[in-house]
Amino acid sequence: MDLWALADLCTPWCVHVAVTLRVAEHLNTGNTTIAGIAPAAGADPEALHRVLRHLVAKGLFEEPSPGVFALNEAARQLLEPATRLAFDLDGFGSRMAGAWGTLLSAVRTGRPAYHEAFGRPYWEDLDAHPRLAADFDALMGPAGHGTPDPHVLADPADWEQIRTVVDVGGGTGSLLAEILRAHPHLSGTLVELPRTVARAADVLQSAGVADRVTVAAQSFFDPLPPGHDLYVISKVLCDWPDTEATAILRRCADAAGPSGRVVAVGEGAPVAPSSGDLLMMVLIGGKDRTLDDFRPLATDAGLEVRRVGRQSGGRHFVELSVRSRADI
């Protein structure tokens, strides 16, 4: 193992710079020379040339002749909307890159250290910067994760028993829209903060389901709309430490009652070491959880794991029901 290469910060920063300057987009439109790219990107020609030559040496981009660059298969990934959102140093990517500088503090304290870099805790920082919040919402939606998979019940026949669905912390409603499109007999409720649900109307309208959706502009730490058949919480619990994740599940249990059910999407999978897991630790104290990690949280929230399923893309989900008093 080359320790120096393993610890090298040069290449990641060069990738961020290339994304921020839209190098791949310039190349994609036929602007392929440093003499053309640099002024279009607002960069110094010599400095940009040095950055791109480093990336060529790492396998990102090609330089078929001196000062002339081209996309290769690896570089075409930089054209994807999610890449731009995550890596752009003029936007949300600046927060993601800068947060890594607080990793040592997070490891020493066991608490998120984002505020040390940016002056506020993560969620408060998003609230204070609407563009960052919009980028985050976009990254969590189809632009970042693709079209959501509406398959959130292990047995498709169970949908016949469902009439109303609540998407808890559902962002701009992309998952709820897909569920309602797949099951025309359903109506839904989107629970999300006011700044986010304000952008949900276009998503729901485009999907043709707006007339079947009620919006609850609120926090999921507050009491949820009660008495519905199914409460779905997708890719949310991993954003929170155990105490807060349990509190969210408890709100779902309270609202679902004895006859309802709760589905947690993105929970219960075998967890491999990942940069995403560490980033959640740094940003917000969240984490990926195996089924063994998740089960005690569900129990503390008054829920019981019934089944574990997998969506077509491989994402796991956990079906839960409210525990009877005899079980508690």
200-238 tens-digit pLDDT? 999 999 999 999 999 999 999 999 999 999 999 999 999
Over the Cα atoms of the chain, what is R_g? 22
Q: Domain tally for the chain?
A: 3
> How far apart (Å, rounded) are the C-alpha atoms in residues 10 and 12?
6
User: Residue 311 has which token pair?
Assistant: 């969506």
262 & 154 share domain:
yes
What element of type H or E holds 85? helix 81-87
Q: Would you list the DSSP string of 161-199?
A: G--EEEEET-TTSHHHHHHHHH-TT-EEEEEE-HHHHTT
Question: How far from 92 is each of 88, 99, 124, 137, 302, CA to CA, in Å?
Answer: 6, 11, 14, 11, 37
Question: How far from 294 is each of 219, 246, 249, 286, 305, CA to CA, in Å?
Answer: 22, 9, 11, 13, 9
Give the pLDDT confidence score for residue 269 in this predicted structure: 84
254 & 239 share domain:
yes
Domain containing residue 133: CATH number: 1.10.287.1350
> How far apart (Å, rounded) are the C-alpha atoms in residues 215 and 208?
15
Quick one: average pLDDT of 73-97? 94
**Residue entry with tokens 């660059």:** 69
322 & 229 share domain:
yes
113 & 158 share domain:
no
> How far apart (Å, rounded) are the C-alpha atoms in residues 51 and 34?
11
**Three-state SS at 70:** strand
**Three-state SS at 305:** strand
The least confident of 53-57, 97-101, 127-131, 269-273 is 269-273
Is pLDDT at 328 greater than 70 in this prediction? no
Does residue 279 sit within a domain?
no
Domain containing residue 61: CATH number: 1.10.10.10
Give the pLDDT confidence score for residue 104 in this predicted structure: 97
| Percent of the chain at pLDDT exceeding 90 | 83
Q: Does the pTM of the predicted model rise above 0.85? A: yes
**Residue entry with tokens 């949908």:** 159
149-189 tens-digit pLDDT? 999 999 999 999 999 999 999 999 999 999 999 999 999 99
As a whole number, the mean pLDDT across the chain is 93
Quick one: average pLDDT of 236-257? 96
61 & 168 share domain:
no
User: Residue 258 has which token pair?
Assistant: 């004895």
28 & 58 share domain:
yes
194 & 314 share domain:
yes
Does residue 75 sit within a domain?
yes
97 & 46 share domain:
no
Q: How many CB atoms lie under 10 A from the CB of residue 38?
A: 20
**120: containing domain:** 89-143
Q: How many CB atoms lie under 10 A from the CB of residue 153?
A: 20
226 & 320 share domain:
yes
Q: Alpha carbon 77 to chain centroid distance?
A: 18
**Three-state SS at 1:** coil
